Amino acid sequence: MEQVDWIGKLADLKLAHYQNSLIVSALIEVLVEKGIITAQDIAAMSEQLDAAFTPESGL
């Protein structure tokens, strides 16, 4: 029965991830279309956030 619970939770997480990805993509598209940000702004911020949240090797 525990496996069924885990499978259900995984399915819920996959759905939430899909919905969040869809919302983020839509927001980015609208902001770029309106000229509020550029694709380069998004790429630069993504790199900064990735670097900030990626553990340094060798620690």
pLDDT one-digit tens code per residue, 5-31:
999 999 999 999 999 999 999 999 999
Token pair in block for residue 40: 């380069």
Q: Are 42 and 28 in contact (CB under 8 A)?
A: yes
* Better-scored residue on pLDDT, 2 or 38: 38
Over its C-alpha atoms, the chain yields an Rg (Å, rounded) of 17
**pLDDT-based confidence at 2, cuts 50/70/90?**
confident
Check residue 15 and report its DSSP letter.
H
pTM for this entry: 0.70
